[in-house]
Structure 1
């Protein structure tokens, strides 16, 4: 499935801008804006927490349409982002705060996502989104960075 030139032209800027547009589209349940964030490549892929690898724009669109049909939006906010950037690609590891409905009502959970962006002829675009379940109570991160600066 190819994006129209109008969709591609509506997203300019860098990988951070595309990421912001992606999360805004999730929160608003806007499938067209969400899909405009993705590259026009056959091998783009998305892995939802606990789900299979979904390859290609048509299959990715179907998974998000299914999610949006169950509540209209995905309540996810990027809380912490670690980035590895170079000239033509940017990899963002994101700790997402997600609001989910439980039997007790709305509650928060954490998702750990990796978003990969490439600079394409249309500008920066998402080529991979891999999300894994985090914890339901707190952000977990293990790092070799010192916790106290000297």
Structure 2
């Protein structure tokens, strides 16, 4: 496979790398994909990079997290408490304007555990449907995450579906 050449391809590759690192539970890789104050020219001598409000993240059902320290702690907690996670991304749309890129997608998530060993069956899994918006900034080291916002998609119940069918209109 050749290296991506266009901004859209580079952003798609950065977005894919983020989800693949999460699936592997590779905290160092996840951390390297998030924007740092230095990426924006913030002098870390005077601003603690852990507390600087450079990045933000909203996980489904969580409050907004601001600052690299809070965001990375959230991923460490998720990884420490998730034996298995796999993302199937659909409806991926990338828009690039200058040094900023917006990715919207649907995360079809399977999680649970424990992860199977060779020849073993997979333990019970939970499926979740989530819509996500990932904002990237161009840096000298490539595209990095600036913000991640994910929200669950609420499934309709059978009663709601029946009501819609019966309602004229």
Equivalents in 2 of 1:26, 1:50: separation in Å?
Answer: 19
Q: Where does 1:87-102 land on structure 2 (aligned, <5 Å)?
A: 87-101=98-112
Q: Give the structure 2 partner of residue 144 of structure 1.
A: none
- The offset of 1:136, in angstroms, is 5.2
SS at match of 1:75: strand
- The correspondence for 2:125, drawn from 101, 106, 112, is 106
Bigger Rg, which one:
2
Give the structure with the larger helix fraction.
2
Q: For structure 1, list consecutive stretches of 5 or more residues without a partner in the other structure.
A: 1-12, 138-150
SS at match of 1:19: helix
Q: Give the structure 1 partner of residue 31 of structure 2.
A: 35
Q: Give the structure 1 partner of residue 14 of structure 2.
A: 18
- The offset of 1:123, in angstroms, is 1.8
Q: For structure 2, list consecutive stretches of 5 or more residues without a partner in the other structure.
A: 1-8, 38-51, 113-122, 157-169
Q: Give the structure 2 partner of residue 69 of structure 1.
A: 80
Equivalents in 2 of 1:100, 1:122: separation in Å?
Answer: 31
CA contact (8 A) 2:94 2:103 kept: yes
SS at match of 2:30: helix
Count of residue correspondences: 124
**Is 1:59 matched up with 2:78?**
no
- The offset of 1:50, in angstroms, is 1.2
- The offset of 1:80, in angstroms, is 1.9
Equivalents in 2 of 1:108, 1:15: separation in Å?
Answer: 26
Higher mean C-alpha deviation, range 23-32 or range 54-63: 54-63
- The offset of 1:84, in angstroms, is 1.8
Equivalents in 1 of 2:31, 2:83: separation in Å?
Answer: 15
Structure-1-length-normalised TM-score = 0.74
Distance 1:133 1:64, change over 3 A: same
Cα distance per residue 1:37-86 (max 9 Å; x no partner): 11113320110001111111211111111111112453222122122212
Structure-2-length-normalised TM-score = 0.66
